[in-house]
């Protein structure tokens, strides 16, 4: 099996030992605490589950700027996006500023339970100019209409850096018990299945025929043992389909249209960054940590609006340090139903033109579903469309 990213063994930060976890929970009630942002909580979940291996906690300002400008931490580790605990200075009490350890409380669970205990190494102010430069590098824009830029810019102006010990996986393990899995658990499941060539498909959306066939094309070309359909379960931008609806529709597609025991449908607890190329590299890192040998990177992977070129998320892999990643990239083109070929094709492999393709905009798809009309079966499996239609008609 493929090695974890930048280490021989996976180093999840979740405290598995019950006695140690109980000690930390007791300690958390005595030390200063703060409610962190949803993004920081999601980072804790990913650190806890081993997805962000080999990181040991939240980055300091030097690491943050290095990652933004050069995709490299101060220790020389290649890393594409910030992993930070950023808060507003006015929310930090005197006790927090002077404490060696603090308890981090979850903003996404009622009562704000402690999600992690952090050893405080540094507390540093980030200037507006620095924040502007960071988002420009990471997201390719400073436009506050970009959802990732808006979240990062609005998170605060003060970094609390240092290692963390993670005590739970927030709402992901309770609301999605059949789907949420850590990188440790996925890696173990791949071993149990004795899969070697494993293709990961990243999704924050339901899967229509084009996505289904893209997975099948990769599977056939690579002669893979299995596919990990790996869906994001965290926060999305307004208008995106909720995780439970996506989960149900994807499971139905896999159940009906893929051979048994060839696809794992799993989810991870992270908030979408919409960082396009940078996020594609991040996706590769945590799929390598999960034990996958390949990641499908398609058209406008992890993008939003018109901020990125259609294939920027593929070309970025040509510029990363040689040997940094073991996982390989399967490059997918725009995939559509061709009336003349009478099947789903990647445009680069199809001899026909745009007039022969079934093309539906996202807006048109939503209109059809909201009106209770049927999507063309060439575009979406009827059973999938039915689940989505039920959801849209409740809005």
- Residue 267 phi/psi, 5° resolution? -135, 160
Residue 261 known to be catalytic: no
Q: Which residues contact 36 (CB under 8 A, 6 or more apart)?
A: 44, 85, 87, 104, 105, 106, 107, 115
Separation of alpha carbons 291 and 274, rounded Å = 24
Residue 205 known to be catalytic: yes
Separation of alpha carbons 332 and 215, rounded Å = 9
The DSSP bridge pattern shows strands 294-297 and 328-331 to be: parallel
- Catalytic one of 105, 204, 246, 266: 204
- Catalytic one of 188, 205, 216, 366: 205
- Residue 166 phi/psi, 5° resolution? -95, 135
The DSSP bridge pattern shows strands 158-166 and 86-87 to be: antiparallel
- Residue 211 phi/psi, 5° resolution? -70, -45
Q: Annotated catalytic sites, by residue?
A: 204-205
């Amino acid at each position: 099996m493929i090695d974890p990213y930048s280490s021989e063994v996976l180093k999840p930060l979740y405290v598995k030992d019950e006695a140690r976890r109980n000690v930390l929970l007791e300690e958390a009630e005595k030390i200063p605490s703060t409610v962190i942002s949803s993004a920081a909580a999601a980072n804790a979940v990913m650190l806890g589950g081993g997805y962000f291996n080999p990181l040991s906690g939240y980055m300091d300002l030097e690491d943050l700027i290095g990652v933004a400008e050069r995709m490299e931490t101060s220790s020389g580790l290649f890393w594409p996006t910030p992993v930070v605990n950023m808060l507003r200075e006015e929310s930090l009490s005197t006790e927090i500023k002077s404490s060696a350890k603090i308890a981090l409380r979850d903003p996404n669970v009622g009562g704000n339970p402690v999600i992690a205990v952090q050893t405080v190494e540094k507390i540093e102010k980030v200037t507006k100019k620095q924040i502007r430069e960071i988002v420009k590098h990471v997201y390719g824009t400073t436009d506050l209409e970009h959802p990732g830029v808006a979240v990062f810019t609005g998170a605060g102006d003060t970094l609390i850096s240092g290692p963390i010990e993670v005590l739970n996986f927030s709402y992901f393990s309770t609301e999605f018990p059949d789907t949420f899995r850590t990188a440790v658990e996925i890696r173990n499941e791949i071993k149990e299945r004795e899969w070697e060539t494993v293709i990961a498909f990243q999704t924050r959306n339901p899967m229509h025929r084009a996505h289904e066939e893209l997975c099948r094309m990769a599977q056939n070309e690579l002669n893979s043992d299995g596919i990990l359909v790996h869906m994001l379960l965290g926060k999305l931008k307004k208008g995106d389909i909720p995780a439970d609806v996506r989960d149900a529709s994807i499971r139905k597609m896999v159940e009906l249209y893929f051979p048994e025991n060839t696809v794992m449908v799993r989810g991870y607890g992270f908030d979408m960054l919409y960082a396009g190329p940078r996020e594609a590299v991040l996706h590769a890192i945590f799929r390598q940590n999960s034990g996958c040998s390949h990641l499908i990177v398609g058209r406008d992977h992890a993008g939003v609006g018109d901020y990125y070129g259609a294939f920027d998320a593929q070309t970025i892999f040509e510029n990363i340090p040689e040997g940094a990643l073991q996982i390989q990239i399967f490059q997918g083109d725009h995939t559509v139903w061709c009336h003349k070929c009478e099947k789903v094709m990647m445009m680069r492999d199809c001899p026909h033109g745009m007039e022969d393709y079934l093309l539906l905009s996202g807006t048109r798809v939503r209109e059809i579903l909201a009106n209770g009309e049927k999507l063309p079966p060439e575009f979406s499996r009827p059973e999938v469309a039915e689940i989505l239609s039920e959801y849209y008609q409740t809005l």
